[in-house]
Amino acid sequence: MTVAVKVASGENAARALVREAAALRTMPPGGIRVLHTADNVSCPAPWAWLVTPWADGPTTWDACKKLRDTTEGGRAEARCAAVELCMAVGRLHTAGWVHGDLRPHHAVHTTAGVRLLSCTGASRIGNAVSATYLGGLVHLLSPRLAAALEPTAASVMLDPDDEIYTLAAGLWWAATTTWPLAYADAGLDSSTMSALALRRAIATAKIPLAKAAGHPWPEFLAPLTAAMAQPPGSRPSALQLADQLKAVPLT
């Protein structure tokens, strides 16, 4: 079979890969099963490696390419991929897990269903994450999670509600190639800011969401904006977001 081999060296990276292997062994379908691992995080040069079956198919980002290029058939492919991803995340949440680093490059659409990659930050709902957890791609963080990641905050427990924000934000990015937050409207230049500065700015919840005006398919972006705009506790579930996207007309 064709496999993927993931190797990490250095104490933090090796421990992260060991955590990912442990998560993949117990996560429900949607993660990738582990074929073999090896680790030695106590030796002078810590290292770890992980072997999993190769996930064959386009990522969600790839599946939205025709939409971004306004190519024929792009809307149907993007909507299908978005619905599939939301359903996969919904099944994960229903099983009591959160991924921890959702982004359109971390989901592969195979003939056997969506496979979620890069599960280093995955954890059971209610369990505290590793002290080294940084939340994934900062532009996709919900304000509440961004605030929870401050060094002075207590141990972080991931909530599916915050992951719904990240799911919607990632799909916005995949559909538009632009970030879901209107940094310029808040007087910020995100290209010149460090990840820490961006995270702290997002944590204020004062950066407005980007507008769908001018996009050729604003109907697709509308449920994503609505999911991000809702306060914690009021967002749709991933399965509800899938239903909303499924109902978006292609014309």
d(C-alpha 13, C-alpha 183), whole Å: 31
Residue recorded with tokens 């204020």: 204
158-195 per-position pLDDT tens digit: 999 999 999 999 999 999 999 999 999 999 999 999 99
Q: What is the pLDDT of residue 205?
A: 96
Residue 71 CB contacts under 8 Å (≥ 6 apart), including other chains: 65
> Residues 51, 5: contact at Cβ < 8 Å?
yes
Q: What is the pLDDT of residue 45?
A: 79
Instruction: pLDDT tens for the chain, 251 residues: list them.
Output: 899 999 999 988 888 899 899 889 888 866 677 888 888 877 777 899 999 999 999 999 999 999 999 999 999 999 999 999 999 999 999 999 999 999 999 999 999 999 999 998 999 999 988 888 889 999 999 999 999 998 766 678 999 999 999 999 999 999 999 999 999 999 999 999 999 999 999 999 999 999 988 889 999 999 999 999 999 999 999 999 999 999 999 98
d(C-alpha 37, C-alpha 22), whole Å: 10
Burial group, residue 88, by CB count within 10 angstroms (0-12, 13-18, 19+): buried
d(C-alpha 125, C-alpha 76), whole Å: 33
d(C-alpha 117, C-alpha 105), whole Å: 8
The three-class DSSP label of residue 113 is strand
In one-letter notation, the amino acid at residue 129 is V
Q: What is the pLDDT of residue 8?
A: 92
The three-class DSSP label of residue 133 is coil
User: 56-246 has which fold?
Assistant: Transferase(Phosphotransferase); domain 1 (1.10.510)
Q: What is the pLDDT of residue 152?
A: 61
Burial group, residue 249, by CB count within 10 angstroms (0-12, 13-18, 19+): exposed
The three-class DSSP label of residue 3 is strand
**Cα-atom radius of gyration of the chain, to the nearest Å?**
18
Domain ranges of the chain: 1-54, 56-246
Q: What is the pLDDT of residue 31?
A: 61
Q: The whole model's pTM is what?
A: 0.94
DSSP code for 186:
G
Query: Taken in order 3, 20, 107, 182, is the CA torsion positive or negative?
Result: negative
CB atoms within 10 A of CB 215: 16
Q: What is the pLDDT of residue 154?
A: 63
The angle subtended at Cα 33 by Cα 31 and Cα 34, nearest 5°, is: 125
d(C-alpha 149, C-alpha 199), whole Å: 8
